[in-house]
Amino acid sequence: ETGVTQSPTHLIKTRGQQVTLRCSSQSGHNTVSWYQQALGQGPQFIFQYYREEENGRGNFPPRFSGLQFPNYSSELNVNALELDDSALYLCASSLLGQGASWYFGSGTRLTVV
Amino acid sequence: GESVGLHLPTLSVQEGDNSIINCAYSNSASDYFIWYKQESGKGPQFIIDIRSNMDKRQGQRVTVLLNKTVKHLSLQIAATQPGDSAVYFCAEQRGLGSTLTFGKGTMLLVSP
């Protein structure tokens, strides 16, 4: 176990709806990244938060947004859901400046119908 | 854009054999290369990493080899066990603690 927890584990939403996914980082970690993993593919970087500010973003539209809280937990929000948003959403945490290792949660499986 | 990719989508081995999973990368500016293992229903689990200034690193039952001349990375698993069955991803990192760029993955199937 990595100490990174995500909720919920599974979620079904209708196209056009909004969704919020949650992540608690490993104790002592100050940086959180979110990844989208489509079936049969490698994870794709969405964005990263460090000390409550976004400090990196992948090739995802603005309807993907996030937050990081003072306790370093994080949320991923997706507005106007599309069918192609169906994927496993992974959260990873790290201690920036202390190493290269990222520790992943088990993910939230989002299905958009 | 530049990416990390894999040669083989599926590798089937017998228990006790040695396994070799390969990965080709295209960005020579990457500082770290990492191997992750992902079991069904779980997130990627860190196995081993290697800095770009090294060509070999060993862990417990695993060895990573880096050939910068041909931009090739491999993961060797000794005495493969059924519990090693999973999807293996290579990933690159362009600086300490920076984000990860993953390849598509190789599924390793270990038969008893």
* Contact between chains at A103 and B91 (C-beta distance less than 8 A): no
How much of chain A is helix, strand and coil, in % rounded to 5? 5, 50, 45
Tokens of A106: 């088990």
Q: What percent of chain A has pLDDT over 70?
A: 95
Q: What percent of chain B has pLDDT over 70?
A: 91
Mean pLDDT of chain A: 92
Cite the beta strand spans of B45-105 per DSSP E: 45-51, 56-58, 62-67, 72-77, 86-93, 100-102
The residue among B83 and B97 whose pLDDT is bigger is B83
Q: What percent of chain B has pLDDT over 90?
A: 72
Say if residue B4's pLDDT is above 60.
Answer: no
Which range is least confidently modeled, A70-84, B41-55, B88-102?
A: B88-102
Return d(Cα B89, Cα B77) in angstroms, integer: 14
**What's the confidence (pLDDT) of residue A51?**
87
Say if residue B91's pLDDT is above 70.
Answer: yes
- Distance, in angstroms, between A48 CA and closest chain B CA? 8
- The identity of residue A15, as a single letter, is R
Say if residue B79's pLDDT is above 90.
Answer: yes
Say if residue A99's pLDDT is above 80.
Answer: no
DSSP letter at B82?
G
Say if residue B72's pLDDT is above 60.
Answer: yes
For B41, the closest of A94, A95, A106 (CB atoms) is: A106
Which range is least confidently modeled, A66-75, B3-12, B68-77, B87-96?
A: B3-12
Per-residue pLDDT band for B7 (boundaries 50, 70, 90) equals very low
* Contact between chains at A90 and B49 (C-beta distance less than 8 A): no
| Closest-CA residue to A56 (of A46, A67, A48, A68) | A48
- Distance, in angstroms, between B44 CA and closest chain A CA? 6
* Contact between chains at A42 and B99 (C-beta distance less than 8 A): no
∠ CA B34-B1-A42, nearest 5°, is: 40
Residues 6+ apart with CB under 8 A from B112: B15, B82
**What's the confidence (pLDDT) of residue A94?**
87
**What's the confidence (pLDDT) of residue A47?**
96
* Contact between chains at B97 and A4 (C-beta distance less than 8 A): no
Whether B73 contacts chain A with CB within 8 A = no
* Contact between chains at B46 and A103 (C-beta distance less than 8 A): yes
Mean pLDDT calculated for residue range A48-57 = 91
Mean pLDDT calculated for residue range A47-72 = 93
